[in-house]
Amino acid sequence: MNSLGPLIRLAKNGDKDSFRQIYERFNNAVFAFASLRTSNRDDALDIVQETFIDLWDGMPKFRYRTDEEFGGFIFTIARRKIYKYYNSKVKTIPLDEKIPDETYEMKTNDYGYMFQHVNSLSPDHQEVLKLRYWSDMSFGEIASVLNIKETTAKVRHYRAIQQLKTLMEKYEHTT
């Protein structure tokens, strides 16, 4: 894959076509990242839009060093937008609204089955797995987004996978 350096330099100077190419390269990953966290397509699309508006506004101040760092810059903006999204949501349930029954039986090939176990991991491990598999990021990009070393991202990934396997095996033996 080609380096983003030349596109970023042009976009920093207001070249809309270069920025469009950057958008096309990252928009699906940012959408996956946002939709996984909001569980709402429209809200995720809004977050993607706001992320790229802020990116456009912040381009003149960004100093390009690596593609991974630039990807991290984009996902840092998206994380802030998601944080803002959650802070703006009303956190109450009307008293007349029925809380769903939790007796749903999951099958081992069900996407919800896997997601349930990912959500039971520590927040650090959840984040690494979601960035790696739902947002399709490299370990370098994950490290940049989370502001950790690449080796730390790899270790967290390995540990998360091991814990996930243990949880899934334990659940299969109890069903």
Q: Looking up tokens 């809380």, which residue turns up? A: 99
Domain ranges of the chain: 1-90, 106-175
Question: Do you know the residue count of the chain?
Answer: 175
Q: How far is CA 135 from the centre of its chain?
A: 5
Q: Looking up tokens 């996978």, which residue turns up? A: 161
pLDDT digit string (tens) for 80-89? 898 888 777 6
Which pLDDT value is given to residue 111? 52
Give residues with Cβ within 8 angstroms of 149, minimum separation 6.
Answer: 143
Query: What distances in angstroms separate CA 137 from CA 27, 36, 144, 151, 162, one per listed residue?
Result: 13, 14, 10, 15, 20
**1-90 topology per CATH:** Rna Polymerase Sigma Factor; Chain: A (1.10.1740)
Kindly state the average pLDDT of the residues 47-51. Answer: 95
Give residues with Cβ within 8 angstroms of 23, minimum separation 6.
Answer: 52
pLDDT digit string (tens) for 14-37? 899 999 999 999 999 999 989 888
pLDDT digit string (tens) for 115-159? 677 778 888 888 888 888 777 788 888 888 888 898 998 999 899
Query: What distances in angstroms separate CA 67 from CA 6, 140, 145, 156, 173, one per listed residue?
Result: 11, 9, 12, 22, 44
Secondary-structure class of domain 106-175 per CATH: mainly alpha
Tell me the whole-structure pTM to 2 decimals.
0.59
pLDDT surpasses 70 at 101 = no
Which pLDDT value is given to residue 6? 92
More confident residue, 111 or 106: 111
